[in-house]
Amino acid sequence: MQIQLYIYLLFAVGSLFAVFFAPPTFDRPFLVVNMIAFLLVGGMFVYHKFRKHGTICFDMFFVPSFFLVNYAHAVFIYPDDGFLPAFRFATRGYLIPYAVAVAQTGIACYFLFSSLFEKDVQPALQLRHEEPPAAAVNRVTYINVITTSILFSYVFVFRVVQGYYHIWPRLMTVVLTLIALSWYYQAQLLEKEEHGWLVMLKHNKLNILAALMFSVTMLSVGSRGQVLFLMFMLLPIVNTYYFHIRLKVLAPFIVVGVIAMGLLMLTRGTEYNIFQVSFGEAVKYGIDILLESPNILWMLLTDFVVNAKTLYESIDYTQVNGIIWGRSYIVYLFVFIPFGGSVLVKLLTGLDGQDLFSGYILTEYAEADYGLGTNLIADLYLNFSLPGVIIMMSLLGYMVTHFEKPISKYGAFLYLSFFANCIYMVRGDIFCWLTFFVYFVIFDWLMRLRIQNASEPAPPVS
C-alpha cells in the first residue's frame, strides 16, 4: 500500500507538471502519453478497489467513465469528430492538451487522497444499522406502489404522454429515492443467515414491482438517466445484503445496456421512435444507422464522449471572462427545501436556476443551438480554475473512501447517493449527489413520523 501511495503521488506531481508545460497546439503524442499514464495508474487503482470491495464499488464505474469523458475524444476521435453533434461547430484544438492535463491532475488527486485515507474495511454497507419501525417500512412500500402505479397508468393507460418527454424530473427524483429507501429498509430487517435470490424475492415483491413500473415508464418516454440512478442505488444494497454480484454476470448486462441506451438515443429524435413505429422497427433502424457508420463504438458512447466539448469550452470561457466563483453551486444551498431551490434563487439573484448552471453558461458562450451539458472537471474549472480542481477532487476522493464503510444510516444514505451518480457525476457536477442525500434524510424522517418503535404489532409488508 505504501508503494501505491508513492505511485499516486508521483502521478499527481507529473500531471501537474503536464498542466504547466502542455504544448500550445494540438499534440497527439502528448495526449497518448497522458492516456497511457492514466490507464496504468488508474488500472492499478481500480484493480485494488476490485480486490478489496468486489465488482460493486463506486470506482469500478467512476474511473472508466472518467476515461471516456476526458480522454476518448482527444486521443481517438479529434479532429474527425463531425459525426458527433456537439462537435459540429468549431473546437479550439490548441486547448485540448491543456484540458486533458487539467482533467488528469484532478483524477490524480482523487487517487491520491482516496488511497491516503483508505480504511481497512469490509465491503460497503456491511454493518447493520438502526432497524426501521415496521410501520415505516409499510408506509414507504405502499407509497411507492401507489405512486408508480399512477405514473405507469399516466403513460400507458391514459396515454397522456405521447412522444419523448421528461416527466417532472424533480418529482421523479423523489420517487426513485423513495423506492431505494424502501429497499434499504427491507434489507435492515433481514436475519444474519438470510441471503440469496429467493430471500430477495420474498422480502421485496412490492419493491420489485414498483422498480419495474418506474423503469418501464421512464424508458418509454426516453428518461434513461432516472433508470440508471435507480439501478445504481439498488446495486450496493442487493450486493451487500442478498447476493454478491460478480463481474462475469454484470458485464453482459452492461454491454446490452450500453447498446440499448445507444439505440434509444439514436432513434428518439427521428420518425422511427417507439411511439410512431413498432419496437422491432425502431431497433432495426437504430442498428442500420450504427452499421452504416465507421464510428459505431463512439456513437454508442456518445453520451460520454460529447462532454469533452464542455471541458474545452470551460477553459476557453475562463481565459476570456474569468472564473464564475462558485455561482453554479448557489442552488445547492437550498436543496434541503424540496422544489424550493429555484424559487429562492430567483428571489435572491433575480436569475432562474438554469441561468446559473455551468452547462447553460457554456452553451450560451459557444452559441450552440442545444444544451451542451456539463462535465465534472469543466464545472470545477469554470468555477474555481485549477486550484478548485485540485482541492475539490481531493475532497471527493476522501469522501468516497471514507463513506465506503458507513457507521450510521446517514453514512449509508450518503454512499447510496454517491453510488447513484457513479457514472453521471463525471458528466455532471461534484455536488450532484447532494439532492439524493437530502431527500433520503427528509423521507426517512417523514416515514418515521408519529411512529413509536415500541408499538409496532404489524409485520412489514414484502
Q: Are 285 and 304 in contact (CB under 8 A)?
A: no
pLDDT of residue 457: 47
CA nearest to 123, candidates 55, 181, 65: 55
Cα–Cα dist 255/213, whole Å: 23
For the record, the C-alpha cell of 331 comes out as: 442552488
Contact criterion met (CB below 8 Å) for 139 and 447: yes
pLDDT tens-place string over residues 294-323: 788 888 888 899 899 999 999 999 999 999
What is the mean pLDDT of each successive set of 10 residues along the chain, which is 462 residues long?
A: 90 97 97 98 96 92 97 95 81 95 98 87 53 90 96 84 70 94 93 88 95 92 88 94 90 85 72 70 80 82 90 95 91 74 70 78 83 90 97 96 86 95 94 94 90 56 70
How far is Cα 184 from Cα 181, in angstroms, rounded to an integer?
Answer: 5
Beta-strand (E) ranges in 39-150?
none
DSSP 339: T
Which of 402, 400, 405 minimizes the C-alpha distance to 417? 400
How many CB atoms are closer than 10 A to CB 291? 8
How far is Cα 327 from Cα 280, in angstroms, rounded to an integer?
46
- H-helix segments, 352-462: 353-356, 358-366, 376-402, 409-420, 434-448
DSSP secondary structure of 33-77 = HHHHHHHHHHHHHHHHHHHHH-S-SHHHHHHHHHHHHHTHIIIII
Q: What is the pLDDT of residue 332?
A: 86
pLDDT value, residue 437: 96
Q: How far is CA 143 from the centre of its chain?
A: 25
Please state, in angstroms and rounded to a whole number, the distance separating the CA atoms of residues 29 and 95: 15
**Eight-state DSSP code of residue 124:** T
What is residue 125's predicted lDDT score, i.e. its pLDDT? Answer: 54
- Rounded to two decimals, what is the model's pTM? 0.92
Nearest to 57 by CA among 128, 121, 130: 121
Residue 25 burial (CB < 10 Å; 0-12/13-18/19+)? exposed
Q: Angle CA(61)–CA(274)–CA(82) in degrees, nearest 5?
A: 60
Q: What is the pLDDT of residues 434-449, one digit of tens each?
A: 999 999 999 999 998 8
Closest CA to 74 of 88, 60, 94: 94
Q: Which residue's entry shows cell 464522449?
A: 305
Q: pLDDT tens, 382-425? A: 999 999 999 999 999 999 998 888 888 999 999 999 999 999 99
